[in-house]
Every structure is written in structure tokens, then in C-alpha cells.
Structure 1
């Protein structure tokens, strides 16, 4: 099939056709990224970001015969975004908050397309460490290498190597699973979101122990940057926050089979507006659908939309 036929098939819902298009044009996309950013992880990031955009926006292509130039332009846009970020943040990338994103959140775009389930089906085949860095980098507000390294408890170099390995495996799995049945990611995510909201509500109502008994394993572990503990430690921390006047609101949930990421905006009490950081990220590891461990992490910037 030529490009035009593949584009029309992809726009009609043939995910395998979309995978073939992306594979066919990936060398050209990579060449554009390298010409702008140089060889290395930044170019790889630009190609991956462009691929995510293409997955979500294939329906916007008006001239199927021009899919190659369209994909390369998407890459150039991703490169320009990276260059703007470099100039604005030569030393301190947590100041990225000051730069509003002009592109829609890829996770939101994927929620509007059937491709979402295909991507998440392929992500499920990655090992939990590889899946977690991909979830954070491309679908959450925790996008800098430094923040991902802190969240995962590994060096920045390990984050880069895991992302590179994950991208290679993900591309292969997307093609291999193009014709497979996919689970309903929205339903799975809704279950996890409801659980987190019940945890927050349980803390406010004083019934958190009952909520954790329903959703957490009895031997669940709890950790944060300053140490670790068990369910009792988490109970104490949550009740202390409530007593101090801190409140949380769930803003984003990513859920896979055994790893989930939840982003929560935090509100400090009016009399102490700097009592807590503006956001927290929960990284949950699951066994048979129940939380076996929770790592709490405060990103250096508010967990908002993913930069394009």
C-alpha cells in the first residue's frame, strides 16, 4: 500500500496501517530531529513526541499523499519546542512553569482516539521499570530527567537508558499488537482514580483505615524522599496533613496492569499558604489489583500538562 492508502486506512481506524506509516517514515523523522538538535537523547525525545502527536492527529491530515512532509513538520515543531525550552532554562529546568505549553496534552488527545488502547496495550508489555519512565515522561507532568530519576530512585543516566530501551521495545510492540484486542484503558483508569479519591476522602472523614483495608495489601510499603514505612506510617502522614489543613485534588491518573501514577494538586491552609508543595505524585505498584507499595514524590514544578 502506498502512503495515501495507508493514511486513509488509518483514518478509518486501521491501526496496523498507522503503525506501518510511522515505521516507514521514522528514518526521515529522525533525520530532521538530528539536523536540528544533533544526535542524542534530545533528538530521540523529539521523534517520540512527534510520534505521540501523530497517533492522536492522524485524522487531521487533509492530503494523504503528503503524510511524509506532515510528519517531518510535526518533528520540527517538537524540536522548536525543545530549543525554546533550552534557551529559557539554561540552568534550572523547574522554571518551566513560567512557559505555558501551546500544544494540547498528548494524554488528553489520546483519550479522544481509539489509538489510546492500542498504545497502552503495547505499554503493558514493557517491564515495570521501563513502563514507569515512559508513563512519567510522556503522559504525566513529571517530564524532566531529573524529576523522573528522583521519582524512580535511579541516576539520570539510567533514566535515559531506560527511555531509549523502552522506545525501541514500544515501537516493536505497537507493530506486533496492531491486530490484537485491547482492554478498555479508560475503565481501568477510572477504577484507579476512584480508589485514590476514596483514599483522600477517607482521610478527610477519618475512615482511611477502612479504605486502605479494601484497596491495599496488609504488608503494603510506603516511602517518600525522606524515608519509608508501612500502612500505619501512611495513615499518620495523611491524618497529620488533614489536621494541618492540607487538601488534595486528583488531576491526572495513569494506570497499567501493575504500575499506576496519580498526580494530585495540594492546597495549603489559608493562614499558611506555603505549608506544603503545590503538587504530589503517587507511584503505586500493584499486585492482583491491590497496592503493594506507594512512593510519594513532590515534583519541582506543579504537575500540569505535558509539554509538547
Structure 2
């Protein structure tokens, strides 16, 4: 017996990735028709559909009228397509407002994901991506460095490569949903809490002037620090940079931690000294690539705030 949309939505909202996969397969043709009608045949239309599938992963819990899930999915595609048409230059297909950087008092992407029924499946699927695809996915959907240009700067690759990697990641996530099994996946909550506490402790240690201890405990001896568009160096280079900031009166406060496999991202607020309020940018992104749990490369980037 064919299961109806109402029952599939109910199952998806309880964490059944397979049910959501069936829903997306059932409505994929209609979603693609909307994209093609607005964007024509080509990669932009395919991106709009794939983005809608990734959005559905994280927003299915918001569906209030399960019988209208088809129009809901097509609306997400339509919003993506319209944002693409309004873009003044080549940019990634824009996500609906839910995927945009949060406004004040709005839930962060991490908080919204944590409240979603498919959280564990999503993080399992992201963990199955290749490291390059996983990195651009985490930056795009879970950090302030979310524009193609900023992701390209962090990764040290052309914008076209970022677009290709994100497209590949979305296809993998959408394809995984189409064939998703109903088996459970590990609860990521405990691991996320541990990463957060670890980051808080390390930043606190650094702010006390003991960044060299953090480096010694968590970095490989041959680890590299990279500043996009600037210098690079080893552990001594990183220690000198932090020491210089501390001596200038700069402080950092951990705001966000995102981790999957050997990719660990910290987002910090930079607090300039009172007598020099413009001393440093307002935020920093620490992109840490790990090997056996220790840092093999840190890319330090200052994201540009999104324009309102």
C-alpha cells in the first residue's frame, strides 16, 4: 500500500530519513519543473532543487500542513530560483531566509538543526562527505564565512571550485536521502557539547597568556598556520601572533563551534582594547584541519559581515 504524504511527513518529523527520502523522490519532478520554468535547463536549476532538498532536511519539522508538503517544497525551490535571478553576479543559489545568517534573537543554524528530528542523520551524512566537500558545507551552512568568495579565500581555491564542491555535497546529501535507511545514527549531542567545552577551555587558556601550552597539547610539531592573502608559518608563528594580540589588549570570546570528522571550526568575537576600539576586526574564524585528533593546519580568517 502506498503511504500518503501526511504519514510520510509525520514519520520524517520523528526522525525517519527514509520517509523524507520517499517524499523528496515523489515531489522531485514538480520541484525541478518549477526550477526550470524560472531558470531554464542548466546547473542553476539543479542547484535550486538540491538546495531545497537540503533545506527540507532541516525544516521538515516546521511543516504544519502535511497534506501541502508538495507546494511547500516547490515554494522553497521558487524562492531559491528568484534569489538567483536577483543576484547581480554569479553567486551560489541562495537559501531561503531560514538558511540566512540569523538576526538578533533568532535561533542560530546549529540551534535550529539541534531541534530538528533529522539532526543525527544530517550530521552522519555530512560526516560521510569527502573532507573538501565537508569543509565547504560546514562553512556555507554553519559559519559566518558563508559567501562563495569567503569560502574560496578560506579554502585557497577558486570560487568555481567552491561551487562545484558544494554542488557535489548537496547531490550526495540529496542522493543519500533518496536511499536512506531507517536505521538510527549516533546521537551527536554529547560530542558537540564536548567540542564546545574543549574550545571554551582552550580559548580561556590562551587568554591567560598560555597559548603556547594549547599549541603544545593540541598541535602536531609540523602544523602550519595560514592567513589567507597573508603570511603562513608553524607553531612559533601562531604563538607570536596570539602573544602580540594579547599584549595589544585584544581578547577573544568563543561564540560557535562546528565539527565533523577531521574538520573543526571555531568562531570567536574579537574584543579590541577600550583605547583602540578599531584595533582588530570584530570576529575570527579558526578553521582547524585535524589528524588523529591534533591540529595539522589552522587557517585564521576574518569574515566580512553580511550586508543587511
- Count, aligned residues: 295
- Report whether the alignment pairs 1:122 with 2:100: no
Counterpart Cα distance in 1 of 2:155 and 2:40:
28
Counterpart Cα distance in 1 of 2:55 and 2:16:
17
2:217 pairs with one of 214, 223, 238: 214
Shift of 1:80: 4.6
Counterpart Cα distance in 2 of 1:211 and 1:290:
11
Shift of 1:152: 0.3
Contact 2:54 2:173 in 1 (8 A): no
Counterpart Cα distance in 1 of 2:113 and 2:194:
18
Q: 1:300 to 1:63 in 2, by over 3 A?
A: closer
2:279 pairs with one of 265, 269, 275: 275
Counterpart Cα distance in 2 of 1:108 and 1:263:
15
Q: Residue in 1 aligned with 2:94?
A: none
Q: 1:45 to 1:188 in 2, by over 3 A?
A: farther
The residue matched to 1:285 in structure 2 has which SS?
Answer: strand
Counterpart Cα distance in 2 of 1:184 and 1:198:
23
Q: Residue in 2 aligned with 1:191?
A: 194
- Report whether the alignment pairs 1:138 with 2:141: yes
Contact 2:21 2:180 in 1 (8 A): no
Cα distance per residue 1:202-235 (max 9 Å; x no partner): 2221222222322222332211121211112111
- Report whether the alignment pairs 1:296 with 2:303: no
Counterpart Cα distance in 2 of 1:77 and 1:277:
33
Q: Residue in 2 aligned with 1:13?
A: 15
Counterpart Cα distance in 1 of 2:49 and 2:176:
17
Q: 1:202 to 1:105 in 2, by over 3 A?
A: closer
The residue matched to 2:206 in structure 1 has which SS?
Answer: helix
Q: Residue in 1 aligned with 2:239?
A: 235
Q: 1:83 to 1:248 in 2, by over 3 A?
A: farther
Shift of 1:251: 1.9
Shift of 1:82: 5.1
The residue matched to 1:114 in structure 2 has which SS?
Answer: coil
Under a length normalisation based on structure 2, what TM-score does the superposition of the two structures give? Answer: 0.84
1:69 pairs with one of 53, 71, 75: 71
- Report whether the alignment pairs 1:47 with 2:43: no
Q: Residue in 1 aligned with 2:163?
A: 160
Q: 1:141 to 1:45 in 2, by over 3 A?
A: farther
What stretches of structure 1 of length at least 5 have no aligned partner? 92-98
Q: 1:144 to 1:192 in 2, by over 3 A?
A: same
Under a length normalisation based on structure 1, what TM-score does the superposition of the two structures give? Answer: 0.84
What stretches of structure 2 of length at least 5 have no aligned partner? 92-99
1:264 pairs with one of 258, 264, 268: 268
Cα distance per residue 1:148-201 (max 9 Å; x no partner): 110100011111111111211222233445334423323222222333322321
Shift of 1:62: 3.3
Contact 1:199 1:212 in 2 (8 A): no
Contact 2:24 2:178 in 1 (8 A): no
